[in-house]
Structure 1
Amino acid sequence: MTTTTERASGAPGGPEGGRRLPDLRTLLRSSAGIAVAMAVMNVATYAFQMISARLLGPTEYGAVASLMALLMVVAVLQLGLQATGARRISAEPEHVGQIERMVLRVTYRAALGLGLLMLVLAPVVHQVLRLDSVVPAVLLAVSAVPLTIMGGQAGVLQGERRWFSLAGIYLAMGLGRVVVGTICIVVSPTESAAMLGVMIAMFAPAIVGWLALRRPGMHVRDSDRHSDQHTARRVVTETGSASLALLAFFVLSNLDIVVARNVLDDHDAGLYAAGLILTKAVLFLPQFVVVVAFPAMSTPAQRRRALLRSLFVVGLLGVGCTLGAWLLSGIAMVFVGGAEYSDVQSRLWVFAVLGTLLAMLQLLVYSVLARRGTKTTYLVWMAVVAMVALAGTVDELGTLVAVVVCIDAALFAALLGISLWRLKEPVPVEAQPTP
């Protein structure tokens, strides 16, 4: 049961007639709360980066930034677990009890295994990233454990459409990092202190997820229901496939900056990196659409409509961002580096287009995962190879952006065509359980 607040009629700025407004709890219980929570998480993550850069200085921050980039790669397993749990519960809610047990069992084992692997590799990370000591690498290994656990928990909550609890996980992820991380850096402005704050903060979303899963969701958990489709072995197999598909997208969306560092001079490579700040902003802005739409895309009766509607929303947001970058390029420059990067101002709208394409590609990749597609994800890896082959031959910033946009656009057209062909015959709603 939710509550509402009511403004008194005639109050300054209040709606006429005492119109009711939803309170924070009501908002977070709706899917709109996911948008708010993820926005807060992304802003908090950006704030932590800015605070770290200012308090640590270039040398120490460079090490922290490289460790955080490695943590993003490690997080691919977390995303794979989340996608697996959400898809299975959405597709077969009558087996939610068994799915939850299997997903969490695999999650805990995967988290422990990944943590031990990263611990063994800590000396390698220390040498490759040229850290002051092995301590930050060890802290990164420990951080991988709660991060992975959070993935399995979030997958169960997402599959059951428990948006309030899922929003709590995202809020704890963002706010915990910026608060605890900043405190640790203020006490000791070193890379070890920064990673200690990150490690401690990683336990916050895992604790929120654990508390949320102690209460049953909206689906009945019948311990007698059992299906051979939801054994631990099948969950592991699907998690591996999902993680590889997401890794392919992660590589594709981050490869161009590596190429730019190798084919452009230092000045143009810096301009390209500045433009990518806007690209990442446009990519992350509609992430809540993917989170909310994925359960529906995992349900045969709903997946076609969910995909088309979600693509429309993401595309609409992208068009708005692109127009804003074109018409208000001067304001956009404030967020991508300032006057020092003014040479890229005229091309900011192209970087917004690139971000829109990546956001829509991300949605299509999740659509493929939702219907258990595997072969189409090879197209993403083919796009990675094409980018290395084609983008590696250019030597101008504008040409590089054009090549990257064309490759992403071609991949988008191919995945969209395959998805619409696979979903051309909608499944009758009556044939599916009501989520």
Structure 2
Amino acid sequence: MSVLASVRRFLGGGGGIVVGTAVMNACTFGFTIVAAGILGTADYGAFFALLNLLMVISVVNMGLQATAARRIVAEPASVGAIEHVILRVAYGTALAVGGALVVLSPAVVWLLQLDSLVPALVLAALAAPTTVMGAHVGILQGEKRWAELSWLYVLAGIPRIAGLVLLWVWPDESVALFGSGLGYVAPAFYGWWVLRRPRTDEDAAGSVAAPDGRSVLRESLNSAQALLAFFALANVDIVVARHVLSDHASGLYAVGLLVAKIMLYLPQFVVIVMFPSLATSHERRRAVVRGTTAIVGLGAACTLGVVLLAGVAADLLHSEKLAAVEDHLWLFAVLGTLLSITQLLVYATLARRGRRSIVLVWVALVVCVVAGSRTTGPTQLLAVMITVATVLTGALVVTSLRADVPADAGSVGGVVPAAPGAD
């Protein structure tokens, strides 16, 4: 009985987030890999391009998430009022983004060289639940409702299995996008269900004035541009590789990047669990140190595993591409770990409403493009990415540790509502 109670406590706390994000990532990567075997080359290329565009659109989702979590942690006495405003902004934004993509669907067809308008319209339809899901995640994250949030992440993964069944019956890029998009639809409905509680007038008003919807939207868009900078940085090297390297060399670089992507998303649970503490002034410094240490420890262990098992994996899979890059895979693991730390520190910046630090991310992106365009081989490009990521990570660590502002009498719950732009 004590073992069962321990398991329940583990799953009801941060451990549930570990399990939930693991299920989500396994199903997401699994769907993409299996879809490659079902779809033809042209259809898979269109599907992958649509997924990348959806990822760019998802920065609005992430901006809402960061804003919701930060505001709830900052004003715990006004949870009901903040929920009300966040959801109202989320639904309005979801309709606006979805509607804009409907209008722009012919442009999407041209940009991605699609064969019809259907996949572009599917993309527009998925933009709405994707945006709403971000608000739900942020609210549950800010309230530290880890059990419900864990189930939301599970539902972001499991429905994709049903999507694979649909894809098997109708192998088409539109069906593939819809099947993958079930990982956004199901969590949106679940989030609505767990947050449907009735609000009394007292609950809706709270003890602090309700936030203004326009200020919530502005903060969300600012967070979205910061996250756009990070995800552009995390993905720019493959774009550069396609332009400066041969098809064969860029293909080998892409194989190595699979390891980097795994290392980027594997510690995702650390960012999720730590964010409420990052938004609290008296816990922020400790959260930055603990989060960074956790990611470094996990990254070091996985990098060692890559060193020991890369050759074995290449032999078992009979993969000539993997064998060609096996000596460098540990460097890709290092790159992924550095980017994961950067992601934590970007969220730490958003949690304190800092803006100047985000400029460093944009500068790093420009440096990667300029320096990367002068490389002539995969190893040189990888060296550029690791060097820039190392310098950026170090700068953000220093900035995050120095930016902590002591709580004063005007703070609520130990949170200081820093002025926008403060670092």
Q: Same fold (TM over 0.5)?
A: yes
Report the alpha carbon displacement of residue 132 of structure 1 after superposing the two structures with TM: 2.1
1:223 CA drift (Å) = 3.1
Q: Report the CA distance between 1:269 and its aligned residue.
A: 0.8
Distance 1:167 1:336, change over 3 A: farther
Alpha-carbon shift at residue 268 of structure 1 (Å): 1.3
- Cα deviation, residue 328, structure 1: 2.1
Q: Give the secondary-structure state (helix, strand or coil) at the position aligned to 1:174.
A: coil
The one of 359, 372, 375 equivalent to 2:356 is 375
Matched, 1:295 2:276: yes
Q: 1:375–1:221: structure 2 CA closer, same or farther, 3 Å change rule?
A: farther
Equivalent pairs, count:
414
Q: Residue 179 of structure 1 corresponds to which residue in structure 2? A: 161
Matched, 1:385 2:366: yes
- The one of 267, 277, 281 equivalent to 2:262 is 281
The corresponding residue for 1:189 is 171
- In structure 1, how many angstroms separate the alpha carbons of the residues matched to 2:377 and 2:238? 13
Match of 2:421 in 1: none
Matched, 1:408 2:376: no
Corresponding residue to 1:147 among 114, 130, 152: 130
Amino acid at match of 1:361: T
Q: Is 1:268 the equivalent of 2:249? A: yes
Match in the other structure for 2:306? 325
| Contact kept? 2:81, 2:210, Cα under 8 Å | no
Q: Following the alignment from structure 1 to structure 2, what is the Cα–Cα distance between the partners of residues 193 and 376?
A: 40
Distance change (3 Å), C-alpha of 1:41 and 1:24: farther
Where does the alignment leave 5 or more consecutive residues of structure 1 unmatched?
1-5, 7-18
Please report how far the alpha carbon of residue 221 of structure 1 lies from its aligned counterpart in structure 2 after TM superposition: 6.9
Counterpart-to-counterpart distance in 2, 1:216 and 1:333: 56
* C-alpha contact 1:279 1:355 (8 A) present in aligned 2: yes
Q: 1:23 to 1:210 in 2, by over 3 A?
A: farther
Aligned equivalent of 1:210: 192
In structure 1, the residue matched to 2:120 is 137
Tell me by how many angstroms 1:407 deviates: 0.6
For the Cα contact (< 8 Å) 1:242–1:369, is it kept in 2? yes
Q: Deviations over 1:6-39 (max 9, x none)?
A: 4xxxxxxxxxxxx523476544311110011001
Conserved in 1, the CA contact under 8 Å of 2:259 and 2:329?
yes
1:97-125 deviations in Å (ceiling 9; x for gaps): 11111111100000000000111111111
Cα deviation 1:16-74 (Å, max 9, x = unaligned) = xxx52347654431111001100110000011112211111212111111111111111
1:96-111 to structure 2, matched below 5 A, reads 96-111=79-94
CA contact (8 A) 1:125 1:137 kept: yes
SS of the equivalent of 2:4 reads: strand
Partner of 1:364: 345
2:341 is aligned with 1:339: no
Structure 1 residues 59, 285: closer, same or farther in 2, change over 3 A? same
After superposition, the Cα gap between the structure-2 partners of 1:431 and 1:38, relative to the gap in structure 1 and judged at 3 Å, is same
Return closer, same or farther for 1:316/1:216 CA change in 2, 3 Å cut-off.
farther
Letter paired with 1:418:
T
Q: Deviations over 1:367-420 (max 9, x none)?
A: 000000011101100011111111111102111111110011111111111111
Change (3 A) 1:430 1:163: farther
> Can you list the C-alpha shifts for 1:275-334, whole angstroms capped at 9, x where unaligned?
100000011010000000001110112111111111100110111111111222224547
Contact 2:122–2:178 under 8 Å retained in 1 = yes
Query: Is the CA contact (8 Å cut-off) linking 2:73 and 2:279 kept in structure 1?
Result: yes
Secondary structure (helix, strand or coil) at the match of 2:392 reads: helix
Distance change (3 Å), C-alpha of 1:301 and 1:216: farther
1:301 match: secondary structure: helix
CA contact (8 A) 1:139 1:199 kept: no
- What 5-or-longer segments of structure 2 have no aligned partner? 416-423
8 Å CA contact retained: 1:75, 1:148: yes
What letter corresponds to residue 154 of structure 1 in structure 2? Answer: V
Give distance in 1, aligned partners of 2:105 and 2:381: 35
State the structure with bigger RCO (CA 8 A, min sep 6), 1 or 2. 2
Report the identity percentage. 44
1:244 aligns with 2:225: yes
Greater displacement, 316-325 / 333-342: 333-342
8 Å contact kept, 2:368–2:385:
yes
Could you list the per-position Cα deviations for residues 204-251 of structure 1 after superposition, in whole angstroms to 9, with x for gaps in the alignment?
10111011112489xx97334364572101101100110000000000
- Note if contact 1:169-1:208 (Cα within 8 Å) is conserved in structure 2: yes
Taking the aligned partners of 1:116 and 1:336, their CA distance within structure 2 comes to: 45
Alignment pair present for 1:198 and 2:180 = yes
Distance across 2 between alignment mates of 1:85 and 1:410? 30
1:232 matched to 2:210? The reply is no
